[in-house]
Amino acid sequence: MSSPLRLTHDGPLAVLTMDSPPLNLFDLAMWDAWEAEVARLSADPPRALLIRAEGRVVSAGVDVQVFADTDPAEAESFWARQLQITQALEALPCPTVFAAHSLTLTAAFELALACDLIVAAASARFGLVERKVAFTPSMGGTQRLAERAGPARARELVMTGAQYRASTLAEWGVVNALFEPADFHETVSAYAMRLAAGPSVAHAATKRIVRAYLDGGVSAADAVLPQTAAELVRTEDHRAAVAAFLSDGPEHRTTYLGR
C-alpha cells in the first residue's frame, strides 16, 4: 500500500505532498506518515519546505472513525503524539510554506498554522469543525490561530465551526498570499523556491527572533537579538552578500551556502 504522504526534493526545496484520494483524510496511516516524514526533515532540514496536496481537496479533515476507535484511557497520549507533529513542524529551522488550493479542514488546517507562511487560492476554504463531533482542535490549531488573528477570531472560528474563504483569512492575517487557481501549483512552487534559494541561515535567525517574541514579547526578542545578529555577521553568506551588494548593487545574485 502506498504512503498517503510523500517527500520529494526539487533541488534545495523539499516538497511534502498529501496524496490519499479522494479526501486526504487524517487516519492513523496519515498521521504515522506525517510523524515519520517530519522526523526525517528534522534530522536533515532542507533550505525550505513546501507542503501541498493532490486531489480535489487539500483535506476533508480527520477520519471520524478515529474518534470512534479512540480508547478514552489512551486519549491523552494519542493527542499528545499528534501535537508533537505540529510542534516538530513548527520547530524546523527552514522557511515552511503551506499551499491550500481548496478545502482545508481540521488537522490539515492545524498543520498549516504551524507553518511560517500560508498561501492559498482565494476560493479555498478553511475550517476547524471539530464541534460537529463535540470536540475541540487538538493539534494546536486554536492557539496558533489566536497568535495570527487574535483570541476573538479563534473563538469564533472554532465555536461556530464555520468555513472561511482564504480571502477572508487573508484579511485576518492568517493567510499570507492569494494566488490564481489556474496556475496555482506553479506559482506556489516558484514562491517557495525563492525562499529555498535565499539566505537560509538568516531565515533561521528570523524564525528564532519571531519565536522569542511569541514566547515572551518584545523584551524576549530583544534579549536574543544581539547574539543572533553577531552569529550572522560571522557567516560566509553574510560576508558574500555584503561584498556582492557593494560590487553589483541591491539586485546582486548571490549563491547562498547555508553557512
- What CATH number does residue 215 fall under? 1.10.12
Residues 181 and 81 in one domain: yes
Q: What pLDDT is recorded for position 2? A: 84
Residue recorded with cell 531565515 = 203
Cell triple for 55: 486531489
Residues 25 and 112 in one domain: yes
Residues 166 and 238 in one domain: no
Residues 108 and 57 in one domain: yes
Assign 250 a pLDDT band (cuts: 50, 70, 90): confident
Residue of 95, 97, 99 lying closest to 121 (CA atoms): 99
Reply yes or no on whether the pLDDT at 209 is more than 90. yes
Model pTM score: 0.96
Residue of 238, 237, 241 lying closest to 250 (CA atoms): 241
Residues 219 and 182 in one domain: no
Question: Domain tally for the chain?
Answer: 2
Residue 236 identity = E
Reply yes or no on whether the pLDDT at 253 is more than 90. no
- How far lies 22's CA from each of 19, 63, 64, 209, in Å? 8, 12, 15, 40
Residue of 63, 62, 70, 16 lying closest to 39 (CA atoms): 16
Tell me: the pLDDT tens digits for 95-124? 999 999 999 999 999 999 999 999 999 999
Residues 189 and 214 in one domain: no
Residues 153 and 243 in one domain: no
Residues 118 and 218 in one domain: no
